[in-house]
Amino acid sequence: MKFAKLAAAAAALAIVPATAHAQEAAPAAAPAAVEVTQGASVTGNDGNPIGTVGQVTADAAIVNTGSHEIPLPLNAFGKDENGLTLNITKTELDTAFAQQMAEAKAALDAAMVAGAAVGTADSQPLGTIDTVEGDNVVLALAGADQKVTLGKEMFALDNNGGVIVLATLAQIQQAMPSEG
C-alpha cells in the first residue's frame, strides 16, 4: 500500500457551490442589475455597514463581514445613495451563514464513514473512504491498490449529498507522487 499526503489541491476552486446558499438570507433587492465591484462597501437594510466586497466573479461576490467571508449572488445586491445594499442586517447575515456552515459540517461528518463512495469536484469517481482518523481521511482509490490520505477540510457534499473531494481528478492525479 502506498500512502500519499496531498496538500491543498483545491486552492484553484475559488467558490464552493455549497457555500452559495447565503442567497436565501439576502433576497434580491432590486430587479435591475447592480454593478458590484471589489472593495465596495455594503450596507444592510437597517442602514448599518455589513462589510466590504472582497472578490467578484461572473456569478457572485464575496462579502467580508469581519466575521465571515460570505459568497452572495450578484442579484442579492441593491444600490442606494450610499452604495451597495443588502436586504438583511449584518447580524442576520452572519447568523444565517454560521448556521448554514454548521449544518453543512454536521451533514458532511455524518456522511464520512468507512465504505462511502467519494467523487471529485468534476464528478469523477475517486474511490471509497477506508478510515477516518481524527482530521485525516484515508481513501482507497478506485481501480488501484493505493490509498491516499487527505485532511477533512478537503471534503464536501455535492448537491445530491454525496461525498466529494474539493479538487478535480486532474488536480489529484497531478499531486500524486509518480512511481519510479
Which helix (H) or strand (E) segment holds residue 174: the answer is: helix 169-175
Q: What is the pLDDT at residue 32?
A: 53
Any idea what DSSP says for residue 17? G
CATH 2.30.30.240 domain span(s) along the chain: 3-14+110-175
pLDDT digits (tens, 9 = 90+) for 125-160: 999 999 999 899 999 998 878 899 999 999 999 989
Q: What is the pLDDT at residue 79?
A: 95
Q: How far apart are CA 166 and CA 55, in angstroms?
A: 20
* Domain 3-14+110-175 in CATH 2.30.30.240: yes
Q: Which three cell numbers stand for residue 179?
A: 512511481
Q: What is the pLDDT at residue 172?
A: 86
Higher-pLDDT residue of 16 and 137 is 137
- What does pLDDT average to over the chain? 83
Q: Which three cell numbers stand for residue 102?
A: 454548521
Is pLDDT of 83 > 70? yes
Is pLDDT of 25 > 80? no
Residue 19: band (very low, low, confident or very high) from pLDDT cuts 50, 70, 90: very low
Domain 18-102 is classified in which CATH homologous superfamily? Answer: Photosynthetic Reaction Center, subunit H, domain 2 (3.90.50.10)
% of the chain residues with pLDDT over 70? 80
CATH 3.90.50.10 domain span(s) along the chain: 18-102
Is pLDDT of 28 > 60? no
Instruction: List, edge to edge, every strand of the sheet that includes 49-56.
Output: 69-73, 60-64, 49-56, 41-43, 83-86, 77-80
Q: What is the mean pLDDT of residues 103-109?
A: 94
pLDDT digits (tens, 9 = 90+) for 34-56: 999 999 999 999 999 999 999 99
Higher-pLDDT residue of 26 and 97 is 97
152, exposed or middle or buried, with CB in 10 Å at 0-12, 13-18, 19+?
middle
Q: How far apart are CA 128 and CA 137, in angstroms?
A: 10
**Nearest one of 138, 115, 119 to 128, comparing CA atoms:** 115
Residue 179: band (very low, low, confident or very high) from pLDDT cuts 50, 70, 90: low
Q: What is the pLDDT at residue 178?
A: 64
Which helix (H) or strand (E) segment holds residue 127: the answer is: strand 125-133
Q: How far apart are CA 55 and CA 72, in angstroms?
A: 11
Q: How far apart are CA 28 and CA 132, in angstroms?
A: 41
Q: How far apart are CA 152 and CA 115, in angstroms?
A: 16
Q: What is the pLDDT at residue 142?
A: 85
